[in-house]
């Protein structure tokens, strides 16, 4: 009896100490998570400061370029970037002051930058007015101010670069702190795991001394195992949601980069195109000159088209929603790819969910996204040996379509870049097919995931929302 009581007391103390240690560990983990969130906000602020500085430099440069273009061509269209840049740069300056309001060392330099930019904009406005009053002739008076204007622009660029570099240093320092927090979180998580394992081990040894105690320990272990499985299930769900958020954030970032590239590329392209037209008008057009000017125009149009394709594949579009049966939609996509399937002797296996699965989508765009996935699967498989398996599955308020092939498979590094614009492993591909596919699916508030093993094949899983019956038009 005394031994039994002693065992019970030791058990109780053991569990109490383990509970306290776990509670402390979880409290520290929660504390560190809060720190991580705050540190993440400061890093996002640094990104905002750096991006705003880049935009300020770009807009003031556009304004200056527009004024110069107007002076060179006397074409009032060149004043458009000047007018646009003049307005945007002021708004960007105010935004930058708001982002750095809590950081006193920036105030003096931002005031200096503000003054220089206002001075430069005033000089550009004065230049345009004098140019117009002089009958659109660049006078000696206008030319005499070039050096002073250049010094102002150089000072602006230098100050912007200094602020960027300083903010980059601050961001690197914050990243280092963030990494330290991550390491601390890992340590505390491992400590919690060790405590849990020690607790289990202690309970097994103790309860093995008595049959009743052992049976009780078994029941506790089963209950604990079920709890762990629920936790794992919850973690998997959270991880899936995080992956979806990362995919959306990556897509949004790609769209921002695409718009920036389009802006930076199209301005000089317009200048090149206009210059080519001017040369065509003012030069004696021989056969060789015509060929060279035609080559310039053709390549300018090609680059413009590439930029347009990139923007189309990364922007949110207007959708025309209708209620359709997912199985019918997959069959229509297969019909569009029928020639490729028959040419490569691909075997198609269908495993459609018999439950009614209707989705509220833009039918033609979703069909295009399915077609892109099917074509990629066909191209990944060996001729005469390919098997394309398509499953439709209904789970709760979600409808999933899984496209599986027995092709060459994709390595992990490639999967991470699969939806990036212009990333392709094909010799004749443009790398925008899957980017456009992801764009369409994200537009529908769905998601697309890829699973693959080298030499085993790949699976693309598209998840879409079930049609809301209140929106269905009968």
Task: Tell me the mean pLDDT in the region 257-262.
Answer: 62
Q: What is the DSSP letter of 1?
A: -
Highest mean pLDDT among 42-51, 110-119, 444-453: 444-453
pLDDT above 80 for 121: yes
- Please, which pLDDT band fits residue 2 given cuts at 50, 70 and 90? very low
Nearest Cα to Cα of residue 356 among 326, 329, 333, 389: 326
Helices and strands counted in the chain (H then E): 12, 7
Distance CA 320, CA 162 (A): 48
Residue range 322-471 in CATH 3.60.20.10:
no
Yes or no: say if 359 and 465 are a contact pair by the CB < 8 Å rule: yes
Per this entry, what is the length of the chain?
Answer: 474
Q: Mean pLDDT in the chain? A: 77
Nearest Cα to Cα of residue 218 among 203, 197, 202: 203
Yes or no: say if 358 and 326 are a contact pair by the CB < 8 Å rule: yes
Yes or no: say if 466 and 394 are a contact pair by the CB < 8 Å rule: yes
**Using one digit for the tens of pLDDT, what is the confidence trace for 323-355?**
899 999 999 999 999 999 999 999 999 999 888
Task: Tell me the mean pLDDT in the region 250-259.
Answer: 60
pLDDT above 70 for 208: no
CA of 246: how far to CAs of 254, 373, 418, 460, in Å?
A: 12, 21, 14, 18
pLDDT computed for residue 470 by the predictor: 37
Q: What is the DSSP letter of 468?
A: P
pLDDT above 50 for 187: yes
pLDDT above 50 for 20: yes
Query: What pTM does this model have?
Result: 0.40
pLDDT computed for residue 204 by the predictor: 66
pLDDT computed for residue 315 by the predictor: 56
Distance CA 126, CA 123 (A): 5
Q: Could you list the beta-strand ranges (E) of 280-361.
A: 322-325, 347-351, 358-361
pLDDT above 50 for 472: no
Nearest Cα to Cα of residue 445 among 344, 360, 374: 360
Q: Which residues have a Cβ under 8 Å from the Cβ of 380 and sit 6 or more positions away? A: 405, 407, 408, 409, 457, 458
Task: Tell me the mean pLDDT in the region 279-289.
Answer: 68
Q: What dotted CATH number matches 2-209? A: 1.20.120.1730
- Please, which pLDDT band fits residue 128 given cuts at 50, 70 and 90? confident
The DSSP result for 38-76, as a single string, is HHHHHHHHHHHHHHHHHHHHHHHHHHHHHHHHHHHH--G
Which of 67-76, 298-307, 451-460 is predicted least confidently? Answer: 298-307
pLDDT above 70 for 250: no
Please, which residues bridge with residue 453 across strands? Answer: 457
pLDDT computed for residue 78 by the predictor: 78
Q: What is the DSSP letter of 470?
A: G
CA of 273: how far to CAs of 198, 241, 306, in Å?
A: 74, 47, 16
Q: Could you list the beta-strand ranges (E) of 333-439.
A: 347-351, 358-361, 387-395, 398-405
CA of 301: how far to CAs of 29, 270, 288, 304, 318, in Å?
A: 56, 10, 20, 5, 26
- Please, which pLDDT band fits residue 3 given cuts at 50, 70 and 90? very low
The DSSP result for 226-240, as a single string, is HHHHHHHHHHHHHHH
- Please, which pLDDT band fits residue 463 given cuts at 50, 70 and 90? very high
């Amino acid at each position: 009896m005394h031994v039994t009581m002693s065992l019970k007391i030791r058990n109780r103390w053991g569990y109490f100490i383990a509970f306290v240690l776990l509670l402390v560990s979880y409290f520290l983990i929660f504390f560190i998570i809060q720190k991580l969130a705050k540190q993440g906000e400061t890093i996002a602020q640094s990104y905002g400061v750096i991006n705003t500085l880049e935009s300020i430099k770009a807009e003031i440069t556009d304004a200056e370029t527009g004024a110069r273009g107007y002076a060179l061509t006397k074409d009032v269209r060149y004043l458009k970037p000047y007018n646009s840049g003049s307005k945007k740069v002021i708004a960007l300056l105010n935004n930058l002051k708001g982002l750095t309001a809590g950081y006193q060392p920036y105030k003096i330099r931002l005031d200096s930058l503000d003054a220089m930019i206002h001075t430069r904009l005033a000089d550009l406005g004065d230049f345009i007015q004098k140019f117009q009053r002089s009958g659109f002739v660049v006078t000696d008076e206008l030319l005499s101010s070039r050096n002073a204007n250049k010094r102002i622009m150089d000072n602006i660029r230098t100050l912007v670069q200094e602020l960027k570099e300083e903010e980059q240093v601050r961001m690197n320092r914050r990243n280092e702190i963030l990494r330290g927090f991550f390491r601390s979180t890992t340590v505390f998580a491992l400590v919690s795991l060790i405590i849990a394992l020690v607790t289990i081990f202690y309970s097994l040894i103790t309860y093995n001394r008595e049959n009743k105690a052992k049976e009780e320990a078994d029941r506790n272990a089963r209950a604990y195992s079920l709890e762990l499985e629920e936790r794992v299930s919850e973690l998997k769900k959270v991880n899936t949601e995080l992956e979806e958020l990362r995919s959306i954030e990556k897509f949004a970032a790609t769209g921002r980069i695409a718009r920036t590239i389009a802006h930076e590329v199209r301005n000089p392209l317009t200048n090149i195109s206009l210059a080519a037209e001017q040369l065509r008008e003012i030069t004696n057009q021989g056969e060789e000159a015509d060929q060279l000017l035609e080559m310039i125009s053709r390549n300018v149009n090609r680059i413009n088209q590439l930029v347009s394709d990139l923007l189309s594949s990364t922007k949110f579009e207007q959708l025309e929603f209708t209620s359709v049966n997912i199985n019918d939609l997959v069959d229509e996509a297969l019909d569009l790819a029928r020639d490729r399937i028959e040419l490569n002797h691909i075997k198609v296996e269908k495993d459609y969910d018999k439950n009614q699965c209707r989705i509220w989508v833009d039918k033609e765009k979703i069909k295009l996204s399915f077609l892109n996935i099917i074509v990629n699967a066909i191209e990944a498989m060996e001729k005469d040996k390919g098997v394309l398996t398509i499953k439709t599955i209904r789970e709760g308020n979600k409808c999933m379509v899984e496209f599986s092939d027995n092709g060459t498979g994709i390595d992990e590094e490639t999967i991470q870049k699969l939806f990036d614009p212009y990333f392709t492993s094909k010799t004749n591909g443009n790398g925008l097919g899957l980017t456009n596919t992801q764009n369409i699916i994200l537009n529908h508030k769905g998601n697309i995931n890829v699973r693959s093993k080298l030499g085993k094949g790949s699976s693309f899983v598209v998840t879409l929302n079930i049609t809301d019956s209140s929106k269905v038009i009968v």
